[in-house]
Amino acid sequence: MITIRERVNLKPYNTFGIEAYCDFFTEINSTSDFLELIKTDTYQTNRKLIIGGGSNLLFTKDFNGIVVKNNLKGIEVLLENDLEIIVKAAAGENWHQFVLYCIAHNYAGLENLSLIPGCVGASPMQNIGAYGVEIKEVFEELEAYSMTTGEKRIFKTKDCGFGYRESVFKHKYKNQYLIASVSFRLKKQVKLNTTYGAINTELAAMQITSPTIKDVSNAVIQIRQSKLPDPEVSGNAGSFFKNPEVSADKHDELKQRFANLVAYPLANGNYKLAAGWLIEQCGLKGYEMNGAAVHNRQALVLINKNNCSGVDVFALSSYVLQKVFDTFGVLLEREVNIV
């Protein structure tokens, strides 16, 4: 049985800790709850917003409509053999806790994605990635329900249009489906990926020479905790900007002007630039504006430092975009969903 509440403060439901109100609010704990919800007049006659952990949202104003919090829970094994296992997790499961569950059972593939905030359902929407691993590499399928008809649909990898922090759920099918569960194809024979970022350096500092997936996870957790703010202390949504992709010609031009340019060659001949480095070179690390700030240890992250509004965070992000463009001629793109 669903309960629809009126005029609810969304501050507890977004990791930026931004105060914003919605006209109506409900939580679903089963797919039958959702199928019941879509038949109500309140749902059918209002704008709709589905949220999970609220870790990729910036509310810049009140939401005139109904907010639906996805609380679907459950983890089950769909297939297992000597080499691999397919694990299905409900969309409302906490992402990091799900990763730890897989590690505890020695299912390899997600360890590099430890401590990413949010819920399982958001992982394919964003094609989340960290330390050389993206969801599309371990994705098997997802189960979703039409937000208008309630019809169930299975999305395979080819249906999802995965790109860098992209999927069809951010554009083509935005606000059209409720993701109910996601299935991952993980390995039982471990093949570690430790070459990206500072993982090997951290493992060496931990005096580990033959790492397990648990060791890699611990290293990633240590790295993230050392440079990223805790949302419980400073409201944030993790990386606010995408790392931009530029042509080889643009890369070469910037390399001539900035000898220490941080860039990574891509298979298509282009280069991916480190957005955090670009922002830092503009002197913006730690920069504050009306209670919003660029984090002083990781310039990719914007924080709610002093009870700011969503408008304040957005204004700061616009300032950062302009400064980077003026300095480098590179236009950054926001990664966070602006509401």
Which residue segments constitute the domains of the chain, with CATH numbers given?
Answer: 5-70 (3.30.43.10), 75-187 (3.30.465.10), 235-338 (3.90.78.10)
* SS3 state of residue 42: helix
**Other beta carbons within 10 Å of 158:** 7
Cross-strand pairs, 129: 134
CA distance 330 to 321: 9
pLDDT, position 157: 95
Mean pLDDT of 14-33: 96
Mean pLDDT of 21-26: 98
Q: What tens digit of pLDDT does each residue of 39-60 get?
A: 999 999 999 999 998 888 999 9
Mean pLDDT of the chain, nearest integer: 93
CA distance 286 to 202: 25
pLDDT, position 194: 83
Q: What tens digit of pLDDT does each residue of 283-334 get?
A: 999 999 999 999 999 999 999 999 999 999 999 999 999 999 999 999 999 9
pTM recorded for the entire structure:
0.89
**Nearby residues of 267 by Cβ (< 8 Å), 6 or more positions away:** none
pLDDT band at 232 (very low <50, low <70, confident <90, very high): confident
* β-pairing verdict for 63-70 and 21-28: parallel
pLDDT, position 122: 92
Weakest-pLDDT range from 7-21, 200-214, 241-255? 200-214
Known catalytic residues are 165, 239, 335
